[in-house]
Amino acid sequence: MKIMHLSDLHIGLRLKDHDLREDQEYILNEIADMAAEEAPDAIVIAGDIYDKAVPSAEAVELFDGFLSRLHRELPETEIMSISGNHDSAPRVDMYRGILSRQHIHMIGQPPMHEGDQIYQVTLEDAHGPVHFYLLPFVKPAMIKEITGPGEDGNNMSYDDALRTLLSKEAIDSSERNVLVSHQFYFPAGGDLEGFTKNRAKSERITVGNVDLVCSDVLRPFDYAALGHIHKAWHMNEGHAYYCGTPLACSFSEAGQEKHVLMIDLEEKGQMEVRELPLHPLHQVRVIEGSAKELLSQRSMDYVSIRLTDLEGMNLLEIRDRLDAAFPNLLEFRRVNTTAVGQNEITIDDEEMDPAELCRKFLMGTEGNALDPKLEELLLDVIREVQEEAR
């Protein structure tokens, strides 16, 4: 069975307030071309269809055109899509019953009530059935009626909630099973700090990574088609893959090679995963250098420029000349450097997470550690502000 795996389309996204509709339409057409050539049995979209819970009419029109083309050119291919944390689950769920009869499964809500099960689609090939479990983005509070509370009487952790939910599924390990999920899974026994650093600035990041789920929970599945992490990533736990975004969603993703995944699922225990590279209309790049170095270049890419030295020119003159050299200049910043002994420290507050930025402000330049009680209070305040913002 051939499965195409994509995720995190983020249709409607604006990069530094620049409308990416043309770029998104271009890349979706490229994906549709690939699908027509590969003719997969199933196409899975692992969440974050849209960038906002209430997408614009233009964003809905773009996704509608993409789905319509896939269905028109591949009428027998099963298309399965789940909601991510950026999507409105009830909106994704609309017309679920009608669409499923057209080989299109739009699953917005996870199981929420006692007796509910994860939505399944079963397909057949020469080796027997393949069971697809379609699990939209889950918060512990959403499934509390099924999982019950944690030991302290409050909501379970994300990890405990997902384990409890999956444990209630009668998964037949003798047959092939595929999970489509949009969560922050981290590699069991892996480098969590290194892994979390790969989360893009455009992703919604919780303080303390309270949303993480250990990937060993994915062991019952022959393949886990994951969404949420914007960088392509192969877990060290079995056949679990993040395919990443088809387009860079922020300058923190500059330079990443984007692709969709094609999975050739053979008999139980045998599979091949292929990367199908994508070629965006515009690359997303971060360029740093002196005025002289920058003005010697030309590019139509979307660029963020970090200016390190004026070299005798005034800032307004440089900006005008850079705009001419880089028509798609979306971000321009001067990088502050302060001498410390023989070294230079580059200060770039925008790259810091909120907790780190607040620590830096409270500690000043002395580098002293915060009092543990103040640190705990700081994290609570940031968490409350982030939840309110959502």
**Three-class SS of the chain:** CEEEEECCCCECCEECCEECHHHHHHHHHHHHHHHHHHCCCEEEEECCCECCCCCCHHHHHHHHHHHHHHHHHCCCCEEEEECCCCCCHHHHHCCHHHHHCCCEEEECCCCCCCCCCCEEEEEEECCEEEEEEEECCCCHHHHHHHHCCCCCCCCCCHHHHHHHHHHCCCCCCCCEEEEEEECEEECCCCCHHHHHCCCCCCCCCCHHHCCEEEHHHHCCCCEEEEECCCCCEECCCCCEEECCCCCCCCHHHCCCCCEEEEEEECCCCCEEEEEEECCCCCCEEEEEEEHHHHHCCCCCCEEEEEEEECCCCCHHHHHHHHHHHCCCEEEEEECEEEEECCEEEEECHHHCCHHHHHHHHHHCCCCCCCCHHHHHHHHHHHHHHHHHHC
User: What is the mean pLDDT of the segment spanning 90-119?
Assistant: 93
pLDDT over 80 at 375, yes or no = no
Give the tens place of pLDDT for each residue, 156-206: 889 999 999 999 999 999 999 999 999 999 887 766 666 666 566 555 555
Q: Does pLDDT of 154 surpass 50? A: yes
Lowest mean pLDDT among 77-91, 251-265, 376-390: 376-390
User: Is residue 378 predicted with pLDDT exceeding 90?
Assistant: no
Residue range 237-248: average pLDDT?
89
- pLDDT reported for residue 136: 97
Strand-pair partners of 179: 133, 224
Which one has a higher pLDDT value, 120 or 348? 120
Q: What is the pLDDT of residue 386?
A: 67
| Calpha distance 55→319 (Å, rounded) | 34
pLDDT exceeds cutoff 70 at 365: no
Q: Is the pLDDT of residue 347 over 60?
A: no
pLDDT in the model for residue 388? 64
Range 35-51 average pLDDT: 97
Q: Which residues contact 317 (CB under 8 A, 6 or more apart)?
A: none
373 vs 144, residue with greater confidence: 144
The mean per-residue pLDDT over the stretch 206-232 comes to 86
Residues near 128 by Cβ (< 8 Å), separated by ≥ 6? 175, 176
pLDDT higher than 90, residue 234:
no
Q: Output the pLDDT for position 203.
A: 59
Which pLDDT score is estimated for 315?
81
pLDDT of residue 317: 85
Q: How far is CA 155 from CA 76, 115, 265, in A?
A: 42, 19, 37
Given pLDDT bands bounded at 50, 70 and 90, which one contains residue 384?
Answer: confident
Please check the confidence at residue 207 and state whether its pLDDT lies above 60: no
Weakest mean pLDDT among 39-53, 128-142, 144-158, 292-306: 144-158
Any idea which of 5-14, 276-285, 330-339 has the lowest mean pLDDT? 330-339
More confident site: 360 or 107: 107
pLDDT at 221 > cutoff 70: yes
213, 186 contact by CB (below 8 A) = yes
pLDDT in the model for residue 26: 98
Mean pLDDT (the chain) is: 86
- pLDDT value for 150: 77
Asked whether the predicted pLDDT for residue 349 surpasses 50, the reply is no
Q: What is the mean pLDDT of residues 118-125?
A: 96
pTM for the model stands at: 0.82
% of the chain surpassing 90 pLDDT:
65
Radius of gyration of the chain (CA): 23
Residue 209 has pLDDT above 80, yes or no: no
